[in-house]
């Protein structure tokens, strides 16, 4: 979708894992600024981190997830492949062992990929942070959500991270 930012000024995403990153990608079409706050330190590398579910595990990116990622980030499947990800028909390449026997392989028509979770997240994060209106602040735990007294304004968060506090303050003044 073309960038449609927007009627809306700013969006805050708490958590910079896969859901947070993909949410930020979608919001970037509708908000002038999108800020992601992530508790873990995050570097520009495919590294494992504490808050990453399934970190250091092999990750099966199922067919629909791959379709959605390709829509959001054209060519990302080529980046996955170039980095060593495995791609294939799910019915053909998965060895499915159940109830004491291997299931028969078949052509399902569903194309999926397999790679490590840090590798997947690194590529998605790189694409999201290339968007001019998306910022990620890492090492920033959100402690609390605070609404304005009239509950009319967007929620703001209270964090000990100085950079985050400064940015949130400036966002409130927009
Ligand atoms: C062993 C295992 C194997 C799996 N295998 C697969 C698989 O093969 N394929 C598949 O599709 N799915 C798999 N999953 C599921 C998949 O990992 C999860 O669905 C996915 O991680 C959910 O992503 P998320 O972004 O919603 O949440 P999470 O990955 O839990 O991310 C939450 C993020 O928020 C951050 N955060 C938390 N609290 C705060 C705070 N207070 N302030 C700021 N940031 C905060 C965390 O650091 C983290 O980055 C597996 C899960 C496990 C546990």
Identify whether 70 is part of a domain. Answer: yes
Identify whether 80 is part of a domain. Answer: yes
Query: For the chain, what is the total number of helices (H) and then of strands (E)?
Result: 6, 10
What is the DSSP secondary structure assignment for residue 142, as one 8-state letter? E
Q: Where are the alpha helices (DSSP H) in 15-161?
A: 18-27, 63-72, 76-82, 90-93, 117-129
Identify whether 1 is part of a domain. Answer: no
14-59 residue pLDDT tens: 999 999 999 999 999 999 999 999 999 999 999 999 999 889 888 8
Which residue of 12, 13, 14, 15 sits with most ligand 1 atoms within 8 Å of its CB, as the best mutation to test the pocket?
Answer: 15
> How large a percentage of the chain has pLDDT more than 70?
83
Q: Which atom of ligand 1 is nearest to the CA of 65?
A: 11
Identify whether 101 is part of a domain. Answer: yes
- Number of independent structural domains in the chain: 1
Q: What is the CATH number of the domain that holds 155?
A: 3.50.50.60
Identify whether 88 is part of a domain. Answer: yes
Full residue range of the structural domain in which residue 134 is found:
8-172
Which residue of 54, 59, 144 sits with most ligand 1 atoms within 8 Å of its CB, as the best mutation to test the pocket?
Answer: 54
In this prediction, residue 9 carries a pLDDT of 85
Name the pTM for this structure: 0.88
135-170 residue pLDDT tens: 999 988 887 777 667 665 555 555 666 777 777 666
Q: Helix-strand-coil percent breakdown of the chain, rounded to 5?
A: 30, 25, 45
Identify whether 3 is part of a domain. Answer: no
Q: Is it the case that residue 6 has pLDDT exceeding 90?
A: no
Identify whether 124 is part of a domain. Answer: yes
């Amino acid at each position: 979708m073309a960038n449609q930012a927007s009627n809306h000024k700013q969006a805050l995403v708490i958590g910079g894992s896969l859901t947070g990153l993909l949410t930020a990608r979608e919001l970037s079409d509708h908000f002038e600024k999108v800020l992601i706050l992530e508790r873990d330190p995050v570097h520009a590398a495919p590294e494992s981190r504490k808050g990453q579910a399934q970190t250091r595990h092999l990750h099966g990116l199922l067919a629909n997830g791959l379709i959605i990622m390709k829509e959001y980030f054209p060519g990302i499947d080529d980046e996955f492949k170039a980095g060593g990800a495995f791609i294939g028909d799910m019915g053909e390449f998965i060895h499915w062992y159940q109830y004491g026997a291997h299931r028969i392989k078949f052509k399902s028509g569903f194309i999926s990929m397999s790679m490590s979770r840090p590798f997947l997240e690194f590529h998605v994060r790189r694409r999201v942070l290339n968007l001019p209106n998306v910022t990620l602040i890492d090492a920033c735990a959100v402690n609390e959500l605070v609404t304005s007294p009239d509950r009319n304004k967007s929620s703001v968060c209270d964090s000990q991270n100085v950079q985050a506090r400064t940015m949130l303050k400036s966002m409130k003044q927009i």
